[in-house]
Amino acid sequence: MDKGLGNLNASEIDELLLNSCIGRIGCSANSRTLVVPITYAYDGERILAHTTVGEKVAMMRENPSVCFEVDQVDDLRNWQSVIIQGSYRELQGSEASIAMAYLVEKLLLRLPSESAMLGNGAWTIRPKPTVGESETVLFCIDITEKRGRYEKWKTH
């Protein structure tokens, strides 16, 4: 990365996505736009995430075209940001099991979200709600475009 403003190359984009675990998903439906933070894992091809059924899931089911943003900000003159365009897709069956295992592995050392719980000594994602809980949805963002920008002024 050079000093000043610039574009991240493909490997720099992948590095930021692989090393981060919180991003913001943007979705829109019915003349409404929503941007919310989520925990995620990047498998080199797509964004994997889980959430409970609510407003964002309803919007993404209505309009699966989404954007996703991840950034790393050291200070106002030293940051990186990646924007992804893609499609929301809910995962089922063996694809969901494989994705869940990868997501749990990547997030294992981080604090779990409300839709995760401790079971048998390891964090697991609740596949079915218990009484009074919302359904957990495992989903991916199939990436159609990745772009990244940076500003860097540090010399070390």
Over 29-59, what HEC string results?
A: ECCEEEEEEEEEEECCCEEEEEEECCHHHHH
Q: For residues 125 and 122, give the distance between their C-alpha atoms in angstroms, rounded to a whole number.
A: 10
What is the domain range of residue 126? 4-152
pLDDT at residue number 156: 57
pLDDT, averaged in runs of 10, over the chain (156 residues): 87 96 96 96 95 95 98 94 98 92 82 51 48 76 98 78
Contact 137, 51 (CB under 8 A): yes
Number of structural domains in the chain: 1
29 strand-pairing partners: 32
* CATH, residue 140: 2.30.110.10
This prediction has a pTM of: 0.81
pLDDT at residue number 16: 97
The owner of tokens 């933070």 is: 37
